[in-house]
């Protein structure tokens, strides 16, 4: 399977259904999602990232029927200023070994679904995950002490999930709650026990990165 920015790289078992996101979950996710869009951390720009939309968010979906399930924004929704329940999908299974995602909802899940999935598996305290593009943080990741995945590993692949696993074993990423994607230009992940926690971590590091450049 060839790699292309913003395009799904995994095998997708997708069932198109009605909306799966309740009002309260939608309100919390969209509040932060709109902040990230306004800051340009989620969006779409001609001439950048192959012209594809970028950035996605997810929240753990607690259910006795699924283990490590999560609701994630749909693929190529980065250009939209506001999302509705119709732009989020439930990932009910994430099989890293088989490079396979099982999802159901109104839209296919984000191309970064594998990376979101490994985070929920690695740490049961993680309730929300944010992926954005931030050149400021990415360019100063080493200076800021942020763990970085190998530049040879591409986004949205099983190899990236292995890299994240390595970061969890060999760095203080579990404490910092942020990492940069060395092989994915400007790619940053943050996570936390709530969407607010993940978002706050991101903004704090963005401020520190901007301070370096000032």
Contacts 24+ apart (CB under 8 A), 33-42: 33/57, 33/73, 33/83, 34/81, 34/82, 35/199, 36/130, 36/132, 36/199, 36/202, 37/81, 39/206, 41/132, 41/133, 41/134, 41/202, 41/206, 42/78, 42/132, 42/133
Cα of first residue to Cα of last residue in the chain, in angstroms, is: 42
CATH code for the structural domain at 11-213: 3.40.225.10
The CA R_g of the chain, rounded to the nearest whole Å, is 16
Per-residue pLDDT of the chain (214 residues; tens, 9 = 90+): 334 445 567 789 999 988 767 778 888 899 999 999 999 999 987 777 776 779 999 999 987 677 789 999 998 888 998 998 999 999 999 988 888 999 999 999 988 899 999 999 999 999 999 999 999 999 999 999 999 999 998 887 889 999 999 999 999 999 999 999 999 999 999 999 999 999 999 999 999 999 998 8
The residues spanned by each domain of the chain are 11-213
The structure's pTM equals: 0.92
Residues 6+ apart with CB under 8 A from 56: 42, 72, 73, 77, 78, 110, 112, 116, 131
């Amino acid at each position: 399977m060839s790699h292309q920015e913003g395009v799904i790289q995994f095998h997708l078992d997708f069932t198109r259904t009605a909306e799966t996101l309740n009002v309260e979950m939608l309100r919390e996710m969209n509040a932060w999602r709109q902040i990230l869009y306004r800051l340009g951390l989620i969006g779409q720009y001609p001439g950048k990232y192959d012209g594809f939309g970028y950035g996605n968010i997810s929240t753990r979906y607690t259910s006795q029927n699924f283990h490590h399930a999560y609701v994630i924004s749909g693929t190529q929704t980065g250009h939209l200023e506001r999302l509705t329940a119709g732009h989020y999908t439930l990932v009910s299974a994430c099989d890293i070994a088989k490079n396979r995602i099982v999802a159901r909802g109104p839209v296919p899940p984000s191309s970064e679904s594998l990376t979101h999935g490994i985070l929920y598996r690695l740490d049961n305290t993680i309730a929300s995950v944010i992926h954005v593009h931030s050149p400021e943080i990415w360019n100063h990741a080493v200076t800021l002490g942020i763990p970085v995945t190998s530049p040879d590993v591409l986004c949205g692949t099983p190899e990236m999930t292995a890299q994240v696993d390595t970061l969890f074993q060999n760095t203080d990423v579990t404490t910092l709650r942020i990492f940069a994607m060395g092989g994915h230009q400007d790619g940053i992940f943050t996570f936390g026990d709530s969407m607010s926690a993940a978002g706050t971590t991101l903004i704090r590091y963005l401020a520190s990165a901007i301070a370096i450049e000032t």
